[in-house]
A and B are shown apart, each in its own frame.
Chain A
Amino acid sequence: MRAQFVLSEISVGLRRNLTMTFAVIVSVALSLALAGGSLLAREQVSTMKGFWYDKVQVSIYLCNKNDASSDPNCDKGAVTSQQKQEIKTDLEKLDVVEKIYYESADQAYNHYKEDFKDSPLADSLTADQMQESYRVKLKDPTKYQVLQTAFSGRQGVQEVQDQRSLLENIFNLLNGMNIAALCVMALMLVVALLLIVNTVRVSAFSRRRETGIMRLVGASSFYIQMPFILEAAIAGLIGAGFACVLLVLGKYFLINNWLQEKILLINFIGWDAVIKVLPLILAVGVLVPAAAAFITLRKYLKV
Chain B
Amino acid sequence: MIRFDSVSKSYPKQNRPALRDVSLEIERGEFVFLVGSSGSGKSTFLRLILREERASTGQVHVLGKDLARLSNWKVPHMRRQLGTVFQDFRLLGNKTVGENVAFALEVIGKSRGQIRKTVPEVLDLVGLGGKEERMPGELSGGEQQRVAIARAFANRPMLLIADEPTGNLDPQTSVGIMKLLDRINRTGTTVVMATHDQQIVDQMRKRVVELETGRLVRDQSRGVYGYQH
**Which B residues, 113 to 166, have Cβ-Cβ distances below 8 Å to chain A?**
151-152, 155
Cβ of A213 within 8 Å of any chain B Cβ, yes or no, is yes
- Whether B76 and A213, one on each chain, are in contact in the complex, defined by CB atoms closer than 8 angstroms, is no
| Tally of contact residues, A, Cβ under 8 A | 18
Q: Which residues of chain B come closer than 8 Å to A223, judged between CB atoms? A: 107, 109
Q: Which residues of chain B come closer than 8 Å to A303, judged between CB atoms? A: 72, 75-76
Cβ of A2 within 8 Å of any chain B Cβ, yes or no, is yes
A216 to B: closest C-beta gap in Å:
5
- Whether A213 and B103, one on each chain, are in contact in the complex, defined by CB atoms closer than 8 angstroms, is yes
B76 is contacted by which of A2, A210, A212, A220 (Cβ under 8 Å)?
A220
Q: Which residues of chain A come closer than 8 Å to B108, judged between CB atoms? A: 217-219
Which of B55-63, B78-86, B171-179, B205-213 contacts its partner? B78-86
* In the complex, per-residue mask of A213-241: 1 if CB is within 8 Å of any chain B CB, else 0: 11111111101100000000000000000
Cβ of B227 within 8 Å of any chain A Cβ, yes or no, is no
Given A5-B106, A223-B107, A223-B109, decide whether A217 and B151 contact each other with a Cβ distance below 8 A: yes
Given A1-B109, A214-B107, decide whether A219 and B90 contact each other with a Cβ distance below 8 A: no
Q: Which residues of chain A come closer than 8 Å to B79, judged between CB atoms? A: 215-218
| Residue in A5, A214, A217, A219 with the greatest tally of chain B CB atoms within 10 Å | A217
Cβ of A209 within 8 Å of any chain B Cβ, yes or no, is yes
Given A223-B107, A223-B109, decide whether A218 and B76 contact each other with a Cβ distance below 8 A: yes
From DSSP, what is the main secondary structure of chain A's interface residues?
helix
Q: Which residues of chain A come closer than 8 Å to B103, judged between CB atoms? A: 210, 213
B17 to A: closest C-beta gap in Å:
22
Cβ of B13 within 8 Å of any chain A Cβ, yes or no, is no
- Whether A221 and B76, one on each chain, are in contact in the complex, defined by CB atoms closer than 8 angstroms, is yes
B101 to A: closest C-beta gap in Å:
10
* In the complex, per-residue mask of B42-65: 1 if CB is within 8 Å of any chain A CB, else 0: 000000001000000000000000
**Residues in chain B within 8 A of chain A (CB atoms):** 50, 72-73, 75-82, 84, 90, 92, 103-104, 106-109, 112, 151-152, 155
Known: A209-B90, A212-B90. 8 other contacts (CB 8 A): A214-B107, A216-B90, A217-B80, A217-B155, A218-B80, A219-B76, A219-B108, A303-B75
**Residues in chain A within 8 A of chain B (CB atoms):** 1-2, 5, 209-210, 212-221, 223-224, 303
What would 11 A/B residue contacts be, using CB atoms closer than 8 Å?
A2-B106, A5-B106, A215-B76, A215-B79, A216-B79, A217-B79, A217-B84, A217-B151, A218-B77, A221-B72, A303-B76
Q: Which 7 pairs show the lowest CB-CB distances between chains A and B?
A: A218-B80, A218-B79, A219-B107, A217-B104, A218-B76, A220-B76, A214-B107
